């Protein structure tokens, strides 16, 4: 996800961390680095310059809160302003499972609507919704077949009519078809791709919105267009009020930062972003977690969500209970990784682990290196006793030597795993304390910064 921007930002953070003193000269140098990082990700020039000015002024002129150094305060300001630039607040899509909801997806041709439908269906199915999908793209050849193929693995019914060329008619029939199915509580509607200048297609979109009376209209935007996303969002919003936006192809886009910041300026809410080609590669857009991942702080909440999706109900309840109590053990983590490794990209999972994420972000072959790291982790855990898996604090001295021999690794690698695990558990505890308080304690660093 935005590897180039993330790498540049992490270098800036490391420069602050390694500086003997944080003074005006260093801040000026850092702001130049920050500006170049943002412009390299296609962030609008005015937005980038304004953010750098805000960071510079706050870092040099603000009164530092008690208990923080100027170095740590500067880090916090960068984190906060990046969050403001890329979305300000988390605004998840909340649907009532006791009512029938309708999501209408629109966007230009090639933006990834049909793929996004599959990912949304999988996302909500994992959360207990019963899904029905209407293939309303009557223009693109093979659109209905592609939709059916995308949804076949998760057993979601698709309604479509390849003989009908009028989209509103297909959608009317589709809604009537699913209306009689009492178990269906979420209907997703795919539509024909349209250009923001094609007045006839935009007019058809207005008719579709009128016919379907959607709970929310979602614009699907290709992140590779960068800051042009602003004009696209504005044009579609003029035609029909947008509820939110999904950004696709963010994993392979050097311009993703520009797209995120541009959409944020319009006031439209980014609900999700696509971070890969698999049906499960859809992430809720949470600005604070998104920035945390960019800076190499990891994303513990995202990690828990991804892993829980791979577990059955009993296992999930056990993990959730451990998380609430702040008593995550190596056994929990071992079980999570074994299961999730079978169902998701291990590179994406590893990128969410604090301490590991900043290191792995610099690897050219993230997936390959992550697989090696995961095998090493599982081998080390496999050489531990039940007592050690349940209480990592007892793993010292001779125990480390024995575990290293049994797993075919070095004592240093065992110590590194324990260090990363301890860092993660500390952050879980910090997250528990800071729930409901954005950014943590007043003036404090967000969880994860200490490990950078």
**If you search the block for the tokens 């960019």, which residue do you land on?**
294
101-294 has CATH 3.40.50.300 classification: yes
CATH code 1.20.120.140 region(s) in the chain: 3-85
CA–CA gap between residue 182 and residue 177 (Å, rounded): 11
CATH code 1.10.260.30 region(s) in the chain: 300-451
CATH code 3.40.50.300 region(s) in the chain: 101-294
**If you search the block for the tokens 């972003």, which residue do you land on?**
273
pLDDT at residue 187, as a whole number = 98
Contact 121, 151 (CB under 8 A): yes
Cα 188 from chain centroid (whole Å): 21
The sheet with strand 131-136 has its strands ordered as 157-159, 131-136, 186-191, 101-106, 216-222, 244-248, 270-274, 282-284
CA–CA gap between residue 185 and residue 99 (Å, rounded): 6
Q: For each of the chain's 452 residues, which pLDDT tens digit applies?
A: 466 788 888 888 888 888 888 889 999 999 999 999 999 888 888 899 999 999 999 988 878 877 778 888 888 889 889 888 887 778 889 999 999 999 999 988 888 999 999 999 999 999 999 999 999 998 888 899 999 999 999 999 999 998 998 999 999 999 999 998 989 999 999 998 866 556 777 788 889 999 999 999 999 999 888 888 888 888 888 888 888 999 998 876 668 888 888 887 777 889 999 988 889 889 899 888 888 777 766 555 565 565 556 555 555 566 667 666 667 889 888 877 776 565 555 556 555 555 554 544 445 455 566 677 778 888 999 999 999 999 999 999 999 999 999 999 999 999 999 988 888 777 766 666 655 444 444 455 555 555 44
**If you search the block for the tokens 């910064």, which residue do you land on?**
449
Cα 426 from chain centroid (whole Å): 22
Phi, psi (rounded to 5 degrees) for 162: -70, -20
Neighbouring residues of 238: CB distance < 8 A, sequence distance ≥ 6: none
Q: pTM of the predicted model, to two decimals?
A: 0.72
Q: How far is CA 56 from CA 23, 26, 35, 51, 74, in A?
A: 11, 10, 11, 9, 9
List the structure tokens of 77.
């300001």
Neighbouring residues of 20: CB distance < 8 A, sequence distance ≥ 6: none
DSSP state of 301: H
- Counting every residue, how long is the chain? 452
CA–CA gap between residue 362 and residue 261 (Å, rounded): 24
Partnered with residue 218 across adjacent β-strands are 105, 244
Q: Give the number of other Cβ atoms within 10 Å of residue 53's Cβ.
A: 13
Phi, psi (rounded to 5 degrees) for 244: -165, -175
Contact 295, 79 (CB under 8 A): yes
Neighbouring residues of 255: CB distance < 8 A, sequence distance ≥ 6: 41, 42, 223, 224, 225, 226, 227
CA–CA gap between residue 355 and residue 448 (Å, rounded): 8
- Cα 272-86-193 angle, rounded to 5 deg: 45
pLDDT at residue 334, as a whole number = 82
DSSP state of 103: E
pLDDT at residue 30, as a whole number = 92
List, as one string, the DSSP characters of 402-419.
HHHHHHT--HHHHHHHHH
DSSP state of 445: P
pLDDT at residue 366, as a whole number = 55
Cα 173 from chain centroid (whole Å): 35
List the structure tokens of 215.
């709970």
- Cα 51-54-60 angle, rounded to 5 deg: 135
pLDDT at residue 316, as a whole number = 59
**If you search the block for the tokens 């007043």, which residue do you land on?**
442
Cα 422 from chain centroid (whole Å): 24
List the structure tokens of 349.
């999972």
Would you identify the CATH topology of the domain 3-85? 1.20.120
**If you search the block for the tokens 């240093």, which residue do you land on?**
412
CATH dotted code for 300-451: 1.10.260.30
pLDDT at residue 263, as a whole number = 81
Contact 251, 283 (CB under 8 A): no
CA–CA gap between residue 55 and residue 60 (Å, rounded): 8
DSSP state of 194: -
Alpha carbon dihedral 176, 177, 181, 182, in 10-degree steps, equals -10
pLDDT at residue 415, as a whole number = 94
């Amino acid at each position: 996800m935005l590897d180039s921007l993330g790498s540049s930002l992490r270098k800036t953070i490391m420069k602050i961390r390694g500086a003997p003193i944080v003074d005006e000269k260093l801040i000026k140098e850092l702001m130049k680095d920050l500006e170049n990082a943002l412009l390299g990700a296609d962030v609008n020039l005015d937005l980038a310059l304004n953010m750098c000015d805000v960071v510079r002024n706050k870092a040099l002129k603000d009164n530092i809160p008690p208990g923080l150094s100027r170095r740590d305060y500067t880090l916090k300001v960068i984190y906060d302003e990046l969050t403001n630039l890329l979305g300000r607040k988390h605004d998840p899509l909340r649907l009532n499972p006791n009512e029938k909801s309708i999501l209408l997806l629109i966007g230009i041709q090639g933006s990834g609507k049909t793929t996004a439908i599959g990912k949304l269906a999988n996302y909500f199915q994992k959360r207990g919704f019963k899904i029905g999908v209407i293939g309303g793209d009557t223009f693109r050849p093979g659109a209905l077949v592609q939709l059916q193929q995308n949804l076949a693995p998760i057993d979601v019914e698709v309604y479509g009519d390849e003989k009908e060329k009028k989209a509103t008619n297909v959608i009317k029939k589709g809604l009537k078809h699913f209306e009689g199915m009492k178990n269906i509580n979420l209907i997703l509607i795919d539509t024909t791709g349209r250009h923001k200048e094609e007045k006839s297609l935009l007019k058809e979109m207005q008719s579709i919105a009128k016919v379907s009376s959607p709970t929310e209209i979602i614009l699907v935007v290709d992140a590779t267009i960068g800051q042009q996303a602003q004009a696209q969002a504005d044009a579609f919003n003029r035609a029909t009020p947008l509820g939110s936006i999904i950004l696709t192809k963010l994993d392979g886009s050097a311009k993703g930062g520009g797209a995120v910041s541009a959409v944020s300026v319009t006031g439209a809410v980014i609900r999700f972003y696509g971070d890969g080609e698999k049906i499960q590669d859809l992430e809720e857009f949470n600005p604070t977690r998104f920035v945390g991942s960019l800076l190499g702080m990891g994303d513990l909440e995202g990690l828990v969500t991804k892993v829980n999706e791979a577990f059955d109900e009993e296992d999930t309840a056990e993990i959730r209970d451990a998380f609430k109590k702040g008593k995550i053990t190596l056994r929990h983590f071992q079980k999570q990784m074994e299961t999730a490794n079978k169902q998701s990209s291990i590179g994406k999972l590893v990128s969410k682990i604090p301490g590991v994420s900043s290191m792995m972000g610099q690897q050219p072959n993230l997936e390959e290196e992550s697989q090696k790291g995961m095998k090493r982790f599982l081998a080390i855990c496999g050489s531990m006793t039940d007592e050690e898996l349940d209480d990592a604090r007892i793993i010292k001295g001779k125990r480390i030597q024995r575990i290293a021999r049994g797993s075919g690794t070095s004592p240093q690698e065992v110590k590194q795993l324990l260090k990363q695990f301890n860092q993660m558990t500390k952050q879980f505890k910090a997250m528990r304390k800071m729930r409901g308080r954005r950014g943590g304690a007043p003036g404090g660093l967000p969880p994860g910064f200490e490990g950078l």
